[in-house]
A and B are shown apart, each in its own frame.
Chain A
Amino acid sequence: MAKQMPDMEEYKYGFRDEHKAIFQSGKGLTEEIVRTISEMKGEPEWMLKFRLKSLEQFRKMEMPKWGGNMDDLDFEEIQYYVKPSEKQGKTWEEVPEEIKATFDKLGIPEAEQKFLAGVSAQYESEVVYHSMQEELTKQGVIFSDTDSAIREYPEIFKEYFGTVIPPTDNKFAALNSAVWSGGSFIYVPKGVQCTVPLQAYFRINSENMGQFERTLIIADEGSSVHYVEGCTAPVYSTNSLHSAVVEIIVKKDARVRYTTIQNWAPNIYNLVTKRAVAEENATMEWVDGNIGSKLTMKYPAVVLKGRGAKGMVLSIAVAGKGQHQDAGAKMIHLAPDTSSTIVSKSISKHGGKVTYRGLASFGRNAEGAKANIKCDTLILDDQSTSDTIPYNEIMNDNITLEHEATVSKVSEDQLFYLMSRGLSDAEATQMIVMGFIEPFTKELPMEYAVEMNRLIKFEMEGSIG
């Protein structure tokens, strides 16, 4: 493969648009900033109170003493709110050539490219978006950004917001609760099956990829939805902190899959709280890919609350030079006959560090519950490391817990074998890595799988020798 591959040693996919913000909060976090955010969004009083209480909570709480190193994270250096210009007057023609070229290299569909480049009102994506919206509206599905949802669907919003992850959950959830902005809101009515995945990038003209986005998904009884977020293009931010909260409620017999792939610039602390509650016979699946960032701490969780509820987390984490992926999953079995599966695939290279940190918890009522955990790590060189830290809490004797962990290196014999058939060192390594993450990529929607493979190829460039 003689294709010109970009050099991934330096972070060359990062890009930023010239900000045309009409309001910036300035650095640091004060009560005044929180009030301003709420006011500018025209929020109801209860949300302002929620934010202020959360701010108080954030100040009270201590930094976590586990996980990655956050010594360099300075809360005073962070800008907490930037209101994007109301009309994004940009056109595709104004997007710099090198950004377009980067998109092309990554093979990102044009509609998505335009969204990423901050181009609004583009004909094709508008059309796609609107036809999708029309279909959803007919079924009674709500798919909007979170800021609009609080105005347009106040009752349902208030009923569920903050119920899965309260501000007191952890310091970063408190922070998000105080300053959140953007994110997706989805409500799927009883019995409605969304056959097409709802994709965040079609939701143009909204603040999708804010630093403190807040996503809330409610799948009512017997419904199903697949939400896909993010993409393999890197997310550039001048700020060094990304702290999102994602709450999902999966009601009786409903099914939700949440797929996300994120590729962060290497200066980002990515500290995200994601949790779902699964009621009786409900199924919740997290498909979660983490590439880049300085430190990621992310453990998608499912609270298996109703009898027969099922949870799945399928994740990959890739850590390169100076990066630490502290990722995993939590399965909290509270009801009988609940079952969960965790498949975690980690790759470390160039001195990167991957930690699997997971929790399998079985409450007193978790009679007959089952959990299966499989963590595989692939280490590409001698400088890179991995760690597996599983926590188990078992309050019921009649449960089944299986845990399997493997750590492997790309073996000399495997490389020799593939190369002896004519593949270059780089191609052979890519092939082994791709095979390693295949259980993940095969679960992605086609276009994401293609992107993912391309991205991994780029990531693996320069990993050799």
Chain B
Amino acid sequence: MSTQFEIQGLKSSIEGKEILKGIDLKIKGGEVHAIMGPNGTGKSTLASALMGHPKYEVTDGSVTLNGEDVLEMAVDERARAGLFLAMQYPSEITGVTNADFLRSAINARRGEGNEISLIKFVRQMEGKMKELEMNPEFMHRYLNEGFSGGEKKRNEILQMMLLEPKLVILDEIDSGLDIDALRIVAEGVNAMRSEDRGFLIITHYQRLLNYITPDFVHVMMQGRIVKSGGPELAQRLEAEGYDWVKEELGIVDETVGQA
């Protein structure tokens, strides 16, 4: 069955302050959706709330993945159900090697008695690291510790490739990447595009979308999706900025007042 991911009327608050004010979005397997928008409009909150970060309280709405209620699930259950969030600021975990962590994550999905063999795992990890042009030593480095910004992002994509999720959320995966790294990361994402996998790409800039062509582009302001279109929308935003959108919709301050 092709993936169906559906967000309806999603509202979310942080410390009592409402950030998301009703998000509606449908993503089917094979589709790439991009969410664009200026800073402080709630884009990253959407990513975190979908994955279930404890700081963000969902106050209304529903989220389903293939008919299953995502909001009812704990963070790890969401992951095992097929949700994946490539984070803007991945945590560093000292003393835990990248390989040990990834193998545990893969095995958490596969379940007891069905663990991946060490050799098979190593072969897979090495293969994907090669695709991402990562130094093999990163296998045995502590998770994200001492990684540069770009290395962390590549490591997020590596995890995505190995975990093979159904619905991928990329939260500003392009921030802090130089042009080569951007190309490599984008190639990694493109290699993962398939009929049974949906993507939600959150970004400030059009430049990532030069490498990953979205099917749908959404503009987020004031905690809502205010405008949707095709790839041409991203190009117009790149050329003209966001002012015309604001004008069109009569928005003065596009943020949700977090600043």
Contact = CB atoms under 8 A, between A and B. Distances in A.
A and B: partners?
A: yes
A123 to B, nearest CB: 33
Interface stretch (B7-15, B107-115, B196-204, B205-213): B107-115
Contacts of B16: none
A424 B76 contact: yes
A420 B86 CA distance: 9
B153 interface: no
B108 A434 contact: no
Interface string A369-390: 0000000000000000000000
B90 A435 contact: no
A421 B100 CA distance: 13
A419 B79 contact: yes
B76 A431 contact: no
A432 B96 CA distance: 7
Given A2-B111, A420-B51, A422-B79, A432 B104 contact: no
A438 B145 CA distance: 14
B46 to A, nearest CB: 15
Contacts of A3: 112
- By size class, the interface of chain A is 20 to 34
A199 B111 CA distance: 37
A53 B44 CA distance: 73
Contacts of A439: 95
B189 interface: no
B159 interface: yes
Contact of A420 (B75, B96, B104, B112): B75
B95 A417 contact: no
Contacts of B111: 2
B117 interface: no
Contact of A412 (B54, B95, B112): B54
Contact of B112 (A1, A421, A422): A1
A318 to B, nearest CB: 15
Given A423-B76, A436-B94, A418 B51 contact: no
B155 to A, nearest CB: 11
Interface in A431-464: 431-432, 434-439
B163 A414 contact: no
B142 A423 contact: no
B135 interface: no
Contacts of A432: 93, 96
A436 B95 contact: yes
A417 B112 contact: no
A178 B22 CA distance: 76
Interface string B109-145: 1011000000000000000000000000000001100
Interface in A400-423: 411-414, 416-423
Contacts of B93: 414, 417-418, 431-432, 435
Contact of A417 (B74, B78, B91): B91
B170 interface: no
A126 interface: no
A414 B104 contact: no
B53 interface: yes
Contacts of B78: 420
A420 B79 contact: yes
Contact of B74 (A414, A425, A435): A425
B216 interface: no
Nearest to A435: B95
Given A3-B112, A427-B104, A431-B101, A422 B76 contact: yes
Max chain A C-beta neighbours (<10 A), residue from B52, B93, B95: B95
B73 to A, nearest CB: 11
Contacts of B90: 417
B55 interface: yes
B76 A419 contact: yes
Contacts of B53: 416
Interface string B57-96: 0000000000000000011101110001101011101111
B165 to A, nearest CB: 10
Nearest to A2: B112
B147 to A, nearest CB: 13
B210 to A, nearest CB: 28
Contact of A431 (B74, B85, B104): B104
A439 B96 CA distance: 11
B58 to A, nearest CB: 15
A464 to B, nearest CB: 11
Contacts of A416: 51-54, 75, 91
A281 to B, nearest CB: 32
B108 A412 contact: no
Contact of A435 (B84, B89, B96, B105): B96
A418 B109 contact: no
B108 A435 contact: no
A428 B79 CA distance: 13
B95 A423 contact: no
A412 B163 contact: no
Given A416-B54, A416-B75, A435-B142, A422 B108 contact: yes
A79 B164 CA distance: 62
A432 B108 CA distance: 16
A425 B76 contact: yes
Contact of A422 (B54, B89, B94, B163): B163
Contacts of A424: 76, 108
A178 B8 CA distance: 76
B91 A431 contact: no
Contacts of B96: 431-432, 434-435, 438
Contacts of A434: 95-96
Contacts of B84: 420
B95 A427 contact: no
21 contacts: A1-B108, A1-B112, A3-B112, A411-B91, A416-B51, A417-B90, A418-B93, A420-B76, A421-B105, A421-B159, A422-B80, A422-B105, A422-B163, A423-B76, A423-B105, A423-B108, A424-B108, A425-B76, A435-B93, A436-B94, A438-B94
Given A421-B163, A435-B95, A439-B95, 4 more contacts: A416-B51, A427-B76, A432-B93, A435-B93
Nearest 9 interchain pairs by C-beta: A435-B95, A438-B95, A422-B108, A435-B96, A421-B105, A422-B79, A419-B75, A417-B91, A419-B76
Interface of B: 51-55, 74-76, 78-80, 84-85, 87, 89-91, 93-96, 101, 104-105, 108-109, 111-112, 142-143, 159, 163
Interface of A: 1-3, 411-414, 416-425, 427-428, 431-432, 434-439
